[in-house]
A = this chain, B = another copy of it.
């Protein structure tokens, strides 16, 4: 069978098999189940790094530089880059092409871009499926890079063993990050472009916010690493901080608790996805469409129609 061959291929790190497996898991839910159910015993060895932050903070540059560093240590690196999509081009705006020139020709690196647009819901499930495929394929590190702007992007970043939030010294950036919910998910911060004016103030502001923070269950305190990623400065510090965090997590058993929490979120998403697919079959879609005029004219409330649909679904779920 085709799926069997793909799985054999991806388990020996065959690039085409990996690429096709990810495409299948992106597009088809039932085949995604089939692949993921078959490779499961091979998953869990890769270390997963989430990199997020506001647009323009330099996340791609850091991902590229960190990848180069990991390559000098002979680690294989898989990258999942979740890019917001342009409505005009239909493709990822900052897609694979920019990256390709830097690290894409390296056989030990696999890069996959995913677009946020058009995948209403299910994005973080797809990204984690892809990470699992890369994990089973033998990559040592998996970097999941997302723009920290929406809930699903945050979900993806949190689905890592170590989550890094990248900020820049621009005024108010740390306040914006706080508003976007980025502060809570950071295992440590990277203050990129820290050669710019205002870097020291931004560092102090961020430090202050971190100190204001309520005491958490762990004794881990997020550090702030200063970088100038475009010049490669501070990348080694990032790698060391990742290792420090990894050691802390594993020694305190938080590592396993975190992975359990992530598994829970993920299973819930898979269940809900499958249930939604069952729900919106063509007959229920049709009955919904035919009721819309009544709603707009004020003859029936959306809640009435929703309840009718649920009743219909209950009868058909078996």
Contacts and interface: CB of A to CB of B under 8 A. Distances in A.
B288 A279 contact: no
A230 interface: no
Contacts of A84: 179-181
A7 to B, nearest CB: 13
A59 to B, nearest CB: 13
A33 B22 CA distance: 41
Interface string A140-184: 000000010111110000000000000000001001101111011
Interface stretch (A71-79, A243-251, A304-312): A304-312
A55 interface: yes
A5 interface: no
Contacts of A318: 314
Given A178-B87, A301-B40, A272 B279 contact: yes
Given A275-B275, A317-B314, A268 B280 contact: yes
Contact of A302 (B151, B152, B212, B266): B266
Interface stretch (A220-228, A233-241, A289-297): A289-297
A93 B179 contact: yes
A178 B93 contact: yes
Contact of A120 (B85, B151, B179): B151
13 contacts: A40-B303, A55-B176, A83-B179, A88-B209, A88-B213, A117-B181, A260-B292, A264-B289, A267-B302, A271-B309, A275-B313, A314-B317, A317-B317
Interface of A: 32-33, 36-37, 40-41, 43-44, 55-56, 83-88, 93, 116-117, 120, 147, 149-153, 172, 175-176, 178-181, 183-184, 209, 212-214, 256, 259-260, 263-264, 266-268, 270-272, 274-276, 279-280, 288-289, 291-293, 295-296, 298, 300-307, 309-310, 313-314, 317-318
